[in-house]
Structure formats: C-alpha cells, structure tokens
Amino acid sequence: MADIQADYLRNTAPQTKEPFIDIMRRISQFSHLSEELLLQLFEYAKFINLADKERPIQEGTFGQNIYILIQGRLEVYLQSGSGKEKLTDVIFKPFSIIGEQCILGEINNASLEARGEVLLLAIDMSALPDLLDGWDNPDSRLEDEAYRHSLAMNTIFASVLLNRLNRLIKDQYKLVQKLLILHQSKEYQTSWRQNVLLTTVFNEFSQNHLSPQLEVHEILQQALVHFIPENEKLNILISQPPVNTEKVYMELVRLEALGEIDNLNILLMETIQRLSAKAMELEEYTSGLVLEPHHLPAIISLPDYLVEVFEALSSSGILSKELSKAQFLEGFLSESYPEPAQLSDYLLKGGWTTGLFNRSYLMLLICQTCIQKEFELNRMIAECVAYLTTLNTPRQNVQMQQQKFLEDNRTITKELIELYQGTVDDDTSQVKEQAQGASPQGNVEDLLSEFGL
C-alpha cells in the first residue's frame, strides 16, 4: 500500500515551505494564524488537480481531507428520496473550505463534483490520532505527546471556521437590515402594492375571475378598440356584459398566433394596467394589499455562539475545575474576535485544562459548534433571500385569492360536510362541526401564503 504521506508537500516539494507560508498569510481566512500553525498546514498539505466531473467528496462516505478551493468550480449534489441527485449549490469562491465533516468523524452529507478543471489544496486529517475514538474509549488513547499535531491542526480549523461564522453573522445582520428598510420605505410599499395588484388582475383576467365592479366591458372596449371592428368573434365576446375574460384572453392568443396581433405582450400589459387602475379604487382589491413584516427566525448572534461553546465546554468533562462564564469570555475574546488559541493557552495557564488530548478536544468542540451554527445561519439566510426574491417578484394577492376561493366554494363545502355528517354518529359529527371554523390550510400552506407562494 502506498504511503499517503509521500504526497505531502514537505516530501514532494520541501523547497515550497517558505512561499507556501507567505501565500497562506495573504489569504484572509488564514491571515491571523501564527507561523507555527501555518507550518502545520504545510506539513499535511498536498495539491489535488481534478478533471471535469471528478468527485473529491461522495455523499454517504467518510472523508479524510479538508479541502481549500484554489481555482475552478465545484457543484454540490444531494440525493433525493428516490435516489436521484439534485444540484443544490455551486462553490466557486477561491479559498472556500470544504469537507469539515471529517473533523467530526461524520459521513459526507453531499457530493462535490468538478465542473471543468479544479485545483484544491487538501489537508489530510487521517494522519492524526482519532480524538473521537480516544474520547469514547479512554483506554485507547495514545501518549499525550501524540496529540500535539492534532492540537495544532484543530486550532487552525477552529480559527478558520470561527472567522467564517463571524462573517456569516454579520451578513445575516446586513440582510435583515435590508428587509427592515424595504418594509419601512413608502416608495417600495407603493411599488410592491402595484406589482402585486398587476399580477393579481392578470391572473383573474386569464381565468375569468375579475370582480363585476371592475366595469370590464367598458375597459376592454377602450383597450381593444383597434381590434374589435376587424374581428367578429372578439367583438361578440366583449359586446355584452358579463364578459368572459378567459375566452377573450384565448382569442387574443389565437390572433397573435395567426399574425393578426403584432405583440400580444404589450397589448395585454396595457389592458391589465387599465384594469388595475380601476381595481386600485375598489376595497375588495386593496384591502389585502398590506405588506406584512416577515417573521424571521430569531437572529443568530455571536453571543449565542459563545454561550453554546461555554455550555459544551462545561459539560464536556475536560475541565479540571469549575470555569465561570466571565472567565471563559476573558480567555476567549480578544479585542477583535474570539481566539481559539488564546482560549487554549488561558485555560492551560489557569489550570482548567491539562494535557494535549484535552486541549485538542477543546478545539474540536469549537469546530463542532461552528459547523452547527453555520448550518443554522445558512438556512436563515436562504429564507431571507427567498423572501426578498418574493418581494421583488410578487405572484398574487394570496389573501384575497384565498378568500374568494372560500366564498365561491362555501356552498359546495357545506353540502359535502352535511353529506359526511349523515354517515357518522353524533359524537363524530359534533367534532367535525367544530372543525369547520378552522383554517382550510395547514402549517405548510400558511407559511407559503406568508411568502406569497
């Protein structure tokens, strides 16, 4: 079996040590690391050049490397319930870090595939003693000195992950601020109302659901004045109220397909704008046009993260004596950001931790909490982005559409409930009667309604 360590830069290109450290210092994620820690990266690093469609990480397998993207593009795939893969993300930002699950001994939860040629810097974690096994089985622990490199490497990734988490937290604040500004802007609210109304009116026009109060007959007579004399069918459709706008819409589609209308899009836009201007005067269209504040999940803050690390540390069993939260923060926080290496030294000098294994496990706890919080942050940021997209591309006035649906189908619904009640005993019937007032939508539908979907 080939020695995987033979591929390390220290063996294949020892002369690159100084340039490597100098380059890594200029990468923001690693810029604050000491020369000793950067040297540890060099000791276990190797370059990997991927061809198109080659996969450095496969979902469901255990990895041994943490990768740093140097150049190229990686696509992220997840398996669906049917076993088919779905593209969920693209990684192209240089110096992105991939494969953190190997630090925690967890299987990869996604596959990464090169799109075109990709250059990665791989940091091999398999050459280090297994901290998780040593924690679960104390009898299997090696001599303390064996964990020196583990401490150095885990300190590196704790620092890098924490730096990334800190940036994500700041991005979250900026994104939420943008949402708040949009909601407070009268100009934006007016624009949003107009866009939603235009979309609603078009949907109702194409499905023949427009309100009788809209005076559709008169508006279509004005909007289609140039086409009525030349088209007998169109003339008949809009000559007498009530007008079936779905049939008018399909006739306009037919006319464009025949080349008798140059640009249906422009004609429809002008027609919908006329109808929307009238709709803006009607309460049944405007009453639901209220831009409700989006109920975002709770903000994930840096203090939240610090408290979770403190609680994980306090319950981990690696402390030799009780540590207060104030002492923990004094050791962890520098003037600029939390410093894992500083915390490790502080706990060692204060007699809270002893031994390289325990100190290395401390770094593992920091990494673990970072990865968990990063997952929560990415999920929240994705929700915010989806909501912003919805605000900028409104689909319809959901509240009004739902109310109209209920009113149109109330009689049928009532008759079906009565029919059902005739097939069950009195106790069950009573339960069903009480349930009539409940919302016809479940939690998922309510959530989608809030997002305008």
- Written as one string, the DSSP assignment of 273-304 is HHHHHHHTT-HHHHTT---PPP-PPPP--HHH
Distance separating alpha carbons of residues 445 and 428, to the nearest angstrom:
26
pLDDT value at residue 403: 54
Long-range contacts of 284-290 (CB under 8 A, 24+ apart): 284/211, 284/213, 284/400, 285/197, 285/200, 285/201, 285/211, 285/397, 285/400, 286/193, 286/197, 287/400, 288/397, 288/399, 288/400, 288/403, 289/193, 289/196, 289/197, 289/397
- What total number of domains does the chain contain? 3
The residue from 221, 252, 281 where one domain ends is 281
**Tell me, what CATH number does 65's domain have?**
2.60.120.10
State the pLDDT at residue 27.
82
pLDDT at residue number 413: 56
Residue 15 lies in a domain: yes
- Is 16 contained in some domain? yes
Any domain includes 358? no
Query: Is 342 inside any structural domain?
Result: no
Contacts with 352 (C-beta within 8 Å, 6 or more apart), sequence order: 319, 320, 321, 323
The per-residue pLDDT for 441 is 35
Residue 269 lies in a domain: yes
Whether residue 426 is contained in a domain is answered as yes
In a domain, 261, yes or no: yes
| Segments of the chain scoring below 70 in pLDDT | 1-5, 81, 183-184, 186-189, 192, 288, 290-297, 386-453
- Out of 111, 127, 143, a domain closes at 127
Q: Are residues 121 and 226 in the same domain?
A: no
- Residue 122 shares a structural domain with residue 224: no
Torsion of CA 265, 269, 271, 276, to 10 degrees: 150
Cβ neighbours of residue 89 under 8 Å, at least 6 residues apart?
75, 76
> 219 and 123: one domain?
no
Give the global pTM: 0.60
Domain range enclosing 34? 4-127
In a domain, 190, yes or no: no
- Please give the span between the terminal C-alpha atoms of the chain, in angstroms, as a whole number: 56
**In terms of domains, do 123 and 219 share one?**
no
Identify whether 293 is preceded by a cis peptide bond (ω within 30 of 0): no
Torsion sign over Cα 340, 342, 345, 347: negative
- pLDDT digit string (tens) for 97-107? 888 888 888 88
Distances (CA, A) of 309 to 141, 162, 173: 24, 11, 21
